[in-house]
């Protein structure tokens, strides 16, 4: 097998991932160390994406790995259709969230190895196997984050996947949503001199938030006896912070407003034969 990879990108923003567990129905085990969990196994949890299914595989702990030059999700312990994720600066959990649960045929838990599977140096991996039937599948998600100071920050997410006869497929996702800066908050500021006398006594009101404006897509097609996959991403993450410092002593008021724009863009591809 020969692999050609092309990628160009800048900066990265990572997120946190939840954990959960359910124990519904039946899974099929094989003599090769593979346990296949069909989509109905996860039905009780009502998953909307492949990520929701992966974190519910019994006996498996998800590791998204680290983003390094050459391949995103390097070191991650989840494969998609038997192959590692391609995007260079895209976190593995985000890639899995772009696959609608309706597009997943089954999730395989592989211990020790299996024919045609590169374990990437791990003893246990999960392989998300997508349905090969033609058509469109998608999912949308909305949410809200209630902050202690009364702010409500909304979010919206949409994923879609198209498959056509002949092995061609495409996928796209859009994420729009605010998140709070949990390093800022309200409180009291006190500065004292060496002799213990008060130099500054004030009440601080500090709020910050970031906005995700992420668009990603990929296209896959048979080519020259092999398979070509192209991917692209455009991720804007503007940030703003507002800090008001009301001085009780010696008196007065200080105000600070900061903004920062973060842009991550990527175009990549992989050819296997």
Hey, where are the domains in the chain? 3-272
Q: What is the pLDDT of residues 127-174, one digit of tens each?
A: 999 998 889 989 899 999 999 889 999 999 999 999 998 889 999 999
Q: What is the mean pLDDT of residues 252-272?
A: 93
226-236/169-180 β-pairing: unpaired
Answer whether residue 24 shows pLDDT above 50: no
Tell me if 8 sits within 8 A of 268, measured CB to CB.
Answer: yes
| pLDDT of 79 strictly over 80 | yes
The pLDDT value given to residue 166? 87
In 3D space, the residue among 157, 196, 197 whose CA is nearest the CA of residue 174 turns out to be 157
Assign 30 a pLDDT band (cuts: 50, 70, 90).
low
- 29 Cβ contact list (under 8 Å, min separation 6): 35, 36
Residue pLDDT, tens place only, 192-213: 999 999 999 999 999 999 999 9
Q: What is the DSSP letter of 40?
A: G
Instruction: Tell me the backbone φ, ψ of residue 27, rounded to 5 degrees.
Output: -125, 150
Mean pLDDT of 245-253: 94
Segment 72-96 shows an average pLDDT of 77
Can you give the pLDDT at residue 27?
Answer: 63
The Cα 207–Cα 204 span in angstroms is 10
Banded model confidence at residue 20, pLDDT cuts 50, 70, 90: very low
Nearest CA to 172 among 105, 235, 217, 127?
217
Weakest-pLDDT range from 31-35, 37-41, 58-62, 150-154: 31-35
Q: Kindly tell me the burial class for residue 174, based on how many C-beta atoms sit within 10 Å of its own C-beta (0-12, 13-18, 19 or more).
A: middle
3-state DSSP of 167-186: CCEEEEEEEEEEEECCCCCC
């Amino acid at each position: 097998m020969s692999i050609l990879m092309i990628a160009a990108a800048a900066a990265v923003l990572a997120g946190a991932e939840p954990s959960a567990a359910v124990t519904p129905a039946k899974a099929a085990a094989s003599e090769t160390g593979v346990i296949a969990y069909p989509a109905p196994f996860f039905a009780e949890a009502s998953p909307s994406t492949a990520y929701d299914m992966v974190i519910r595989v019994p006996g498996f702990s998800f590791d998204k790995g680290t983003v390094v030059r050459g391949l995103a999700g390097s070191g991650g312990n989840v494969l998609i259709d038997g192959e590692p994720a391609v995007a260079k600066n895209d976190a593995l959990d985000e890639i899995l969230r772009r696959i609608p649960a309706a597009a997943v045929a089954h999730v395989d838990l592989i211990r020790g190895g299996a024919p045609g599977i590169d374990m990437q140096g791990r003893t246990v991996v999960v392989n998300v196997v997508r349905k090969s039937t033609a058509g469109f599948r998608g999912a949308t998600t909305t949410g809200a984050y209630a902050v202690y100071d009364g702010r409500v920050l909304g979010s919206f997410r949409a994923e879609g996947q198209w498959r056509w006869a002949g092995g061609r497929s495409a996928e796209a996702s859009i994420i729009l949503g605010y998140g709070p800066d949990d390093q800022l908050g309200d409180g009291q500021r006190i500065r004292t001199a060496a002799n213990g006398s008060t130099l500054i006594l004030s009440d601080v009101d500090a709020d910050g938030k970031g906005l995700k404006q992420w668009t990603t897509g990929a296209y896959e097609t048979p080519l020259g006896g092999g398979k070509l996959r192209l991917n692209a991403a455009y991720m804007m993450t503007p940030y703003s912070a507002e800090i008001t410092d009301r001085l009780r002593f010696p008196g007065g008021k200080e105000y600070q407003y900061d903004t920062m724009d973060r842009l991550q863009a990527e175009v990549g591809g992989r050819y296997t034969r």
